[in-house]
A and B are shown apart, each in its own frame.
Chain A
Amino acid sequence: TQLLEQSPQFLSIQEGENLTVYCNSSSVFSSLQWYRQEPGEGPVLLVTVVTGGEVKKLKRLTFQFGDARKDSSLHITAAQPGDTGLYLCAGTNTGNQFYFGTGTSLTVIP
């Protein structure tokens, strides 16, 4: 059983479209991060959210932490081919255990 479930698992969209990726859990997390990984490389940290309801923006990317700190979402506006990659959420639960999500593979078609 995965503690952090991401949806969708795969996403293929046209350049310029918007998309949202979800990261859900039944457990409460004290902090949650989003990473992007390109083929053959290690994941790169995009953002950390720690407060329930928190919203952070990174250019065209908007990250939100759920009010109950059990879920998070990543919204990309006007996707570009450079956004292609594997998006991973990860979090630390209240027991200080660290988990990675199941991953969402995004392909943006020019």
Chain B
Amino acid sequence: KAGVTQTPRYLIKTRGQQVTLSCSPISGHRSVSWYQQTPGQGLQFLFEYFSETQRNKGNFPGRFSGRQFSNSRSEMNVSTLELGDSALYLCASSGTQVTYEQYFGPGTRLTVT
């Protein structure tokens, strides 16, 4: 099986712009979660989608949004970018609803200047 893929791998944006990141989960996985990882804050949960519905949400402002399509692919959008949004954004898919084992993509490195 192919792993989780994320595009793009690297992105440079200017403060105030918006950005969309894409994630394709492992085939058959219906749960997709997004995380933000920074050196100071570690791995922070953004949200989880299951069957096109947001099932869980972390403590991030409304500028961060996401969606999931019928083929389980997911996108994450950040509007009005701030310098503090610079981070590695990780997507993970899960095929279990009990242990929530997560399979991660390589991440998108976003730099906001």
Contacts and interface: CB of A to CB of B under 8 A. Distances in A.
Interface of A: 30-31, 33, 35, 40-45, 48, 50, 88, 90, 92, 97-100, 102-103
A33 B99 contact: yes
Contacts of B4: 42
A97 B56 CA distance: 8
Main secondary structure of the interface of A (DSSP, over half): strand
Interface in B97-113: 98-107, 109
A48 B102 contact: no
Interface residues of B, number: 22
B92 interface: yes
A45 B100 contact: no
B99 A42 contact: no
B82 to A, nearest CB: 23
Given A42-B4, A42-B90, A42-B92, A88 B43 contact: yes
Contact of B99 (A31, A35, A43): A31
Interface string B38-68: 0000110100100000001000000000000
B101 A48 contact: yes
B104 A44 contact: yes
A45 B102 contact: yes
A35 B100 CA distance: 13
A50 B43 CA distance: 22
Contact of A40 (B35, B43, B107): B107
10 contacts: A33-B99, A33-B101, A40-B107, A42-B90, A42-B107, A43-B104, A45-B101, A45-B102, A45-B103, A88-B43
Contacts of B88: 40
A88 B43 CA distance: 9
Nearest to B104: A42
A110 B103 CA distance: 30
